[in-house]
Homo-oligomer: A and B are copies of this chain.
Amino acid sequence: MSKERKNTLRDSVFESLKALIITGQIPPGARVTENDMAARLNVSRTPVREAFNRLERDGLVVGRPRQGYVVTEFNLTMFREAFDIREMLDGRATELAAANATAADKARLRDMLAECERLAAIPDRSTREQFEELQVGIDLHRVIAEIGGNEMLHGMLCGILDKCQQYVWTELLWLDEWQLTREEHTGIVDAICAGDVALAGERARAHVRGSRENILRLLQAKSDYQGFFAKAS
């Protein structure tokens, strides 16, 4: 049991599995069985099974009756769907954040930006440090949604961001574009701090659109992306 963040085994198994999937350590298309995971995490099948249920509900795995579970494979269509939704949710959440952010909230966002800059300034950084910057950058959006105050919206956006994180990290994408991402994040936080609701929302939406187009362009530039993306079923 490498991670035990929650009280119940079910929750810790869920978090462990989600992390393994989102970070690509268990790649899309990989078959995962209850027994394997139970043995790997030193627990019985029961909590593993319940974790699988939640993962399936979150769209991270798909399971067919009596045939086992497979980490969700994604194709360009699903990618576009996710980013289309994320544009709406992220835009709205950012508007709410601009309307509601307290001084403490603003400081928290600035701290996260500073952490990104710090990680970016490390020369010849490792994959681990690159992943951390990606993580903080995505967490920024989660925190913005939290600040916005709509709990339901926050929860939905977190689910979408999990998928986006998996997409991006599994493909190890756009390492040269992170500078642009940091600038856009700064612009969003600036607008939130200024309390400019419309500007913050539009910058967030533009940021998501830009990320989507950027990633799509890079994916199509990769001649072998067919190997990563599942064939459309």
A residues neighboring B (CB under 8 Å): 7-8, 49-50, 53-54, 57-59, 65, 78, 81-82, 84-85, 88-89, 92, 150-153, 156, 160
Inter-chain contact B8/A81, CB cutoff 8 Å: no
Inter-chain contact B81/A88, CB cutoff 8 Å: no
Q: A8-B65, A65-B7, A65-B8 are in contact. Are A85 and B54 (CB under 8 A)?
A: no
Inter-chain contact A81/B7, CB cutoff 8 Å: no
Nearest B-chain residue to A50, judged by Cβ: B53
B7, B54, B85, B150: the one within 8 Å of A156 (CB): B85
A196 to chain B, nearest CB (A): 20
CB-CB under 8 A from A54, the residues of chain B are: 53, 57
CA distance A154 to B8 in the complex (A): 32
CA distance A81 to B58 in the complex (A): 21
CA distance A184 to B89 in the complex (A): 25
Nearest B-chain residue to A54, judged by Cβ: B57
A122 to chain B, nearest CB (A): 36
A179 to chain B, nearest CB (A): 30
Inter-chain contact A153/B85, CB cutoff 8 Å: yes
Inter-chain contact A152/B82, CB cutoff 8 Å: yes
B8, B50, B57, B88: the one within 8 Å of A88 (CB): B88
